[in-house]
Structure 1
Amino acid sequence: MPDRPVVTRIAPSPTGAMHIGTARTALFNWLYAKHTGGKFLLRIEDTDRERSTDAAVQVIFDGLAWLGLTPDEEPVFQFARAERHVLAAQELLAKGNAYRCYMTVEETTAEREIARAEGRAIRSPWRDAEANFNDRPHVIRFKSPQEGETVIRDKVKGDVTFQNKDLDDLILLRTDGTPTYNLAVIVDDHEMGITHVIRGDDHLNNAARQTQIYEALGW
């Protein structure tokens, strides 16, 4: 971990009432930041445009205020940074770390079922293709390494190792060109200067995939 002040964050989605898990995670992040003399930041992950509401955003603000967990800077709204996330995907595409995938919904569903039955990660037939049909619907996928391993250095669980062959190629940009959570969170954490991510261990698999993208961006 870099030798610099600790910066933590809480990053809830404004899609409903603030629940106890969010409050607990916020408390742990706030406590660690204050214990180390660092900063505690708030990011509103409002990329789900259909479910995100202003009322839910206000619930988050009110809940943190009631708990006495005041962020040290103005909140960041993730959707407002969508253009920056798209630029990151385009950078990965230009570097050969991402590719255009033209699989249809039906083809993707079929591949997912086959991969599950065979106990392997989903693989797109477009992964190593050089075709560029921009007039056809497509997503941008990360080209995950297929050899070696990815190690997450977790301060609670210790080193957690994932075999790269077991990690699929995450979608970075949807067919409508909007960024996915797994891309947006990496770019935002980096540019907000986040040094420690404290969250539920249900995010551990995501951490491995996000680490690969983070490293591919040269961060």
Structure 2
Amino acid sequence: MSVVTRIAPSPTGFMHIGTARTALFNWLYARGRGGKFLLRVEDTDRARSTPEATEAIFSGMRWLGLDWDGDVVSQFERRDRHAEVAHQMLESGAAYKCFSTPDQIEAFREEARARGESTLFRSPWRDVPANEHPDAPFAIRVKAPRDGETVIRDAVQGDVTIRNDQLDDMIVLRSDGTPVYMLAVVVDDHDMGVTHAIRGDDHLNNAARQMLVYDAMDWDVPVWAHIPLIHGEDGKKLSKRHGALGVEDWARQGYPA
């Protein structure tokens, strides 16, 4: 199997030193095995994504000496493909139309909090036949298993087990037709042929939900490796208050790549 890794930053600011570190690990793993290293820009947040931030990613990668294979992939430009997969899951029965409104969902959660109960939303539309559907906007939700466990096979963390009754029926396509991140990242990784995804362990919680999409589409799950984040001297996740965070800051201060 030919190794394919990727880095997928969001162009919403400077290139974080943590992103640079993750990119380095993915690049080293691919290059050390004669594989490919791909670059995807996760630019679906149109309000915050800027050309300047996109260019900061490119310049940061070049300063680090990290070359990538093929063209840069824009996640936003693939939104039609993401929606296509959501509808494929709907047609196969792995997903369903949910007509619950945001106000209804929030009202449920407020009542659950008041009773001290779980706020995990169980859509009442999961098993409603199509001939009983209203003519109204709907989101598409993937059906999560209600029993048993989901095991995340991780190259760093080992096996991580999640009880399926802790999973909700995740929305994959919003009522306005836009895909959610959890769907987009799975579709993109699959279509790009990613075999190994090395990423921060803050994504570990996402893995079980992303597996819902892999299972629904009967796709192979890549090898996941969730690595520890960079922390400051106080033991907390590196943030702006710790000082220089962007790659350009380190370059400006004279640090070698």
Fold equivalence (TM over 0.5): yes
Distance 2:125 2:80 in 1: 25
Shift in Å, 1:175: 1.6
Distance 1:128 1:114 in 2: 23
Unaligned 5+ segments in structure 2 are 220-257
Distance 1:127 1:7 in 2: 36
Report the equivalent of 2:198: 198
Q: Specify which of 36, 40, 53 is matched with residue 39 of structure 1.
A: 36
Distance 2:61 2:33 in 1: 20
Partner letter of residue 121 of structure 1?
L
Shift in Å, 1:111: 2.8
1:118 is paired with a residue whose SS is: coil
Distance 1:179 1:206 in 2: 16
Shift in Å, 1:114: 5.0
Distance 2:111 2:158 in 1: 33
Report the equivalent of 2:222: none
Alignment of 1:100-111 (within 5 A): 100-111=97-108
Alignment of 1:121-136 (within 5 A): 121-130=120-129, 131-133=132-134, 135-136=135-136
Report the equivalent of 2:142: 142
Distance 1:175 1:98 in 2: 14
Q: Percent identity?
A: 62
Distance 1:162 1:209 in 2: 10
Give the alignment's Cα RMSD to 1 decimal: 1.4
Alignment of 1:180-191 (within 5 A): 180-191=180-191
1:28 matches 2:25 = yes
Distance 2:150 2:39 in 1: 28
Structure of larger gyration radius: 2
1:197 is paired with a residue whose SS is: strand
Deviation readout 1:88-117 (Å, 9 max, x if unpaired) = 000100111111111121211133345564
Deviation readout 1:154-210 (Å, 9 max, x if unpaired) = 011111111111011111111210111111111110010001111111111211111
Deviation readout 1:55-102 (Å, 9 max, x if unpaired) = 111111111111111112211111111111111000100111111111
Distance 1:36 1:168 in 2: 38
Shift in Å, 1:24: 1.1
Alignment of 1:1-219 (within 5 A): 4-113=1-110, 117-119=116-118, 121-130=120-129, 131-133=132-134, 135-219=135-219
Shift in Å, 1:12: 0.7
Partner letter of residue 132 of structure 1?
H
User: When the two structures are superposed, what TM-score results if normalisation uses the length of structure 1?
Assistant: 0.93
Distance 1:80 1:122 in 2: 31
Shift in Å, 1:21: 1.3
Partner letter of residue 167 of structure 1?
L
Shift in Å, 1:50: 1.4
When structure 1 is superposed on structure 2, of 177-186 and 48-57 the one drifting more is 48-57
* Number of aligned residues: 215
